[in-house]
Homo-oligomer: A and B are copies of this chain.
Amino acid sequence: MFKKLCLIGVGFMGGSFALAFRESFPNCEILGIDVNPSATDKAIQLGVIDVGSAHLNSLLGFKPDLIMLATPVGTFENIARELSTLDIKNTLITDLGSVKGKLVYTLEEYLGENFVGGHPIAGTEKSGVENSSKDLFKGKRCILTPTQRTSPKALEKIKNMWISLGAVVEEMNPFLHDYVFGAVSHLPHAVAFALIDAIRHLSKDDVDLFKYPGGGFKDFTRIAGSDPIMWRDIFLENWENVLKAIEAFEASLKNLKELIKSRNSQELTNYLRSAKDCRERIN
């Protein structure tokens, strides 16, 4: 179905997509574009992409039938603006970004009906193309966020592409997407980063708390090892939902703190039990 993929952003997510894509479409050719030449060089060596470039206009000669945006979301608008100046009218364009909402409408302004917003719910704290995994998306959900303007044909093709990569596709309103993932993904990442920051402050000259990673700390904070640029962009792009979620969390933590402070054993038990019950629903 697809013969030529242009991957913009050759990191862990983009690299994993390229590997998965090549497995489903073995005869495809892949052009990787990245501002960092060492990323494209590494990706060529690893067989993740076939050719590399540092310039968006290289895709003109390449003539891709699919363009995948896999850079941090903060770069999307500028990239879309530049793409809109190139003659790529009939090329399908989609993305791997963790923020949708009004960003989808902005991208549509530049890219038109052939743009389909996407967000595979997959990833690890790893970064760098050298960590790419071809099985990253298998069995995982991929949220697509079409709008009234999206071409039904483009949506259908992107949907089938993800299904052929082993993902389970779900459609969602772009704004609902940002509310949901602001809560269940962006909030936990903010909390993990802040937790590490707190442990750093709680370390004293004679006590290096990072030497005691037991008791759940290590697993709990794994996501704080995620790429800072990617997460800076997510927090800034989805700031309204992220702040709302952080505030709800602050209220919940304050409540727990008060129950501990007041030594309210029964209410404290209820609070913890209710959290445990909710947690078990997602096992």
A228 / chain B contacts, CB cutoff of 8 Å: 269, 272-273, 275-276
A275 / chain B contacts, CB cutoff of 8 Å: 192-194, 196-197, 200, 224, 228
Residue in A121, A192, A198, A278 with the greatest tally of chain B CB atoms within 10 Å? A198
Q: Is A160 at the interface (CB under 8 A from chain B)?
A: no
Given contacts A239-B261, A272-B231, A275-B224, contact A199 B184 (CB under 8 A): yes
1/0 contact string of A235-275 vs chain B (CB within 8 Å): 11001001111101111110111001101010011011111
Query: Quick check: which of A23-31, A37-45, A206-214 contacts chain B, the rest being far away?
Result: A206-214
Q: Is A140 at the interface (CB under 8 A from chain B)?
A: yes
Judge whether A207 and B194 touch: CB under 8 Å. Answer: no
A191 / chain B contacts, CB cutoff of 8 Å: 191, 195, 220, 253
Query: Quick check: which of A13-21, A51-59, A82-90, A174-182 contacts chain B, the rest being far away?
Result: A174-182
Judge whether B232 and A268 touch: CB under 8 Å. Answer: yes
Judge whether A214 and B251 touch: CB under 8 Å. Answer: no
Judge whether A276 and B225 touch: CB under 8 Å. Answer: yes
Judge whether A216 and B199 touch: CB under 8 Å. Answer: no
A257 / chain B contacts, CB cutoff of 8 Å: 190, 243, 246
Q: Is A153 at the interface (CB under 8 A from chain B)?
A: no
Q: Is A222 at the interface (CB under 8 A from chain B)?
A: yes
6 pairs from A and B in contact (CB 8 Å cutoff): A122-B214, A193-B276, A198-B245, A221-B279, A246-B256, A246-B257
